[in-house]
Amino acid sequence: MVNSKNKNNMPVIIGLVVFGIILCVVLLMQPWGGNTDAITAEAAVTKLNSLYSALRVNKPTPKLDPDYQGDGETVDKIAVLPDISEYPFIVNPTTDHFITVYSSAEKTDWLIYTANQFNQSGASVDGKPVSVGIRAFKSSLGADFISSGKYTPDLYIPKSTIYGSLISALGVEFVLTEERLAGNVAGIVISKQKNDELTKKYGEINGKTIMESVLNDEFALGYGNPLSSEEGFNFFLTMLYEFDGNNPTGDNSVDQLRKFQDKIPFIAYEDSQLITALTGGTLDAIVIDYQAYVNSHNLKSSYEFVPIGQRQDSPVYMIGNPSALKRQVVSRFVDFCKNADSQKAAADRGFNNFDNYSGAVIMTGAAILQAQEIYSREKYGSSGLTVVFVADVSGSMEGSPLLNLRGGLNRLIGVIGSNVNVGLVTFSDSVSIDVPIAKFDSIQKSYFSYAVRSMSAGGGTAMFDAIVVAQKMLTDAKANNPNTKLMLFVLTDGESNVGYKFKDIEKIARGVKIPINTIGYNANITILEQLSEINEAIAMNADSENIISRLESLFKAYS
């Protein structure tokens, strides 16, 4: 028999159960997962200002460096090139008589296979065993090494004839021994939906329609820095030609370039940044080569590839005036690379496709040199660039980490252009704005030099407090100049133990969308990688890289 008291409570119990069920359904329908990370730019700035207002920020008066010797315009270009030891042989020569080959890096796997096969084949010239040694790096760095005379190979195999034209214009003596070692093309990788939209409107996607659709705000495109990325440079030259085919480096083309660059949200230092931005939905399309596309399952299954620009068939240049023996080794090695087995190995690795695409050689060497200068001057269109460096001066940076950090920043003074806006923040227990943002003219460079020279280590590590301060400086700069592009560099050991945490700033960083490049010294690399991944920036490890060279190279990509 049911107790009358329990009977009276039954409606209440039933009501609570029903309420609980409804509550569970509502909770299950909430946007859990990635959507909880979403935050608007306006909300991010509001939250950022709130975090900033809770900090005590030191603002010492900047001081001129009495020992500063100039604005860096006379920097020795040869001296700042990296040492060749940073790029060891990927295939070592195995005999006393050998040739040295500089190759673009995308051929690394294939050339390791092919060169090892050649070295094991027992090749000889005039009874003397011969072999090859291969070093791999970007075509632009190879051109810099060769044209400077600092390091000279016997063979130079860049991605395309663009770099042959470039070194020719710089006075390098060479012989083109093979036009195509392994076939490849540059192109855009575009989402299938956007590809269908643009094809329906324009009939086909080519250089001209890419130019028009970007200028019309019809899709977001990213490409690699033309001063280091072969595909980025190929694309840049193609766009200059589309702007004005009669005079690609003339005033009309440059005017169009400024408008075009204002529409480009992303110029990357590495292809991995582009791919992350594309697959994450930040971009609709990116510029890479077909061999990289076909070897990426995620890209090949979900995105379309459209070839553009010049072909990238890895031409072979014999540099200088090598000996008769070396000339024969060159001939033997090129023939070996062209045999059926080697070409099958190339095809297996994604080369030798799109043979029906002819491309076009659209500029002379002199015009290509001009195009490099145009990019250096006009890369940010009318928007300009604003950068803040955040430097760790906590006690854990004592000794070589701080010395290396200071050395890197000092070298950058000669790399950063006077048209860039630059600021400097340091942090230990608290945060200091040592150099407020201003044009990096000779006065600002002197302030920067003094602040770097005055750095000393001590105290705790308030890294995330410093990032809040830097982001506040940059968002304020954006408010005053809405078109400026923003960049943040954090140089630290990553061991934050004072103030805000990663979780406090992560959503803000996603909202304000400022790329955070990190350079780690004896570092907690994981947390720095997490920071850089937020907005497709670069995380570097100073312990395993020549960080001074890498900083110069990275900043040249952005400044």
pLDDT digits (tens, 9 = 90+) for 369-384: 999 888 877 776 666 7
CA distance 406 to 423: 15
Confidence bin at 68 (pLDDT 50/70/90): confident
Is the pLDDT at 18 greater than 90? The verdict is no
Ordered strands of the 97-103 beta sheet: 124-125, 128-136, 97-103, 155-157, 316-319, 174-178
Is the pLDDT at 245 greater than 80? The verdict is yes
pTM for this entry? 0.73
Give pLDDT tens digits for 376-413: 777 766 667 899 999 999 999 999 889 989 988 988 88
Phi first, then psi: give them for residue 309, nearest 5 degrees: 70, -165
Confidence bin at 544 (pLDDT 50/70/90): low
Beta-carbon count within 10 A of 189 CB: 26
Q: Are 223 and 235 in contact (CB under 8 A)?
A: yes
pLDDT of residue 12: 45
Is the pLDDT at 67 greater than 90? The verdict is no
β-partners of residue 304 are 190
Between 535 and 169, the more confident residue is 169
Average pLDDT of the chain?
87
Confidence bin at 83 (pLDDT 50/70/90): confident
pLDDT of residue 260: 92
Q: Domains in the chain, please, with CATH?
A: 42-69+383-558 (3.40.50.410), 84-182+313-348 (3.40.190.10), 185-311+372-378 (3.40.190.10)
- Strands, E, within 195-244: which ranges? 221-224
pLDDT of residue 415: 79
Residue type, 294: V
pLDDT of residue 521: 87
Ordered strands of the 539-541 beta sheet: 57-58, 431-439, 421-427, 385-392, 485-492, 516-520, 539-541
How much of the chain exceeds pLDDT 70, in percent? 87
Q: What angle do CA 360, 366, 368 make, to 5 degrees?
A: 50
How much of the chain exceeds pLDDT 90, in percent? 65
Tokens of 184: 């490849």
Is the pLDDT at 474 greater than 50? The verdict is yes
Give pLDDT tens digits for 123-146: 999 999 999 999 999 999 999 999
> What does the CA dihedral 259, 265, 270, 276 come to, rounded to 10 degrees?
-150
Is the pLDDT at 479 greater than 50? The verdict is yes
Between 176 and 419, the more confident residue is 176
pLDDT of residue 410: 87
Average pLDDT over residues 217-243: 93
Q: Which residue has the tokens 């890419």?
A: 210
pLDDT of residue 26: 35
For the stretch 306-325, what's the b/e string if a residue is b when 16 or more beta carbons lie within 10 angstroms of its beta carbon? bbbbbbbbbbbbbbeebeee
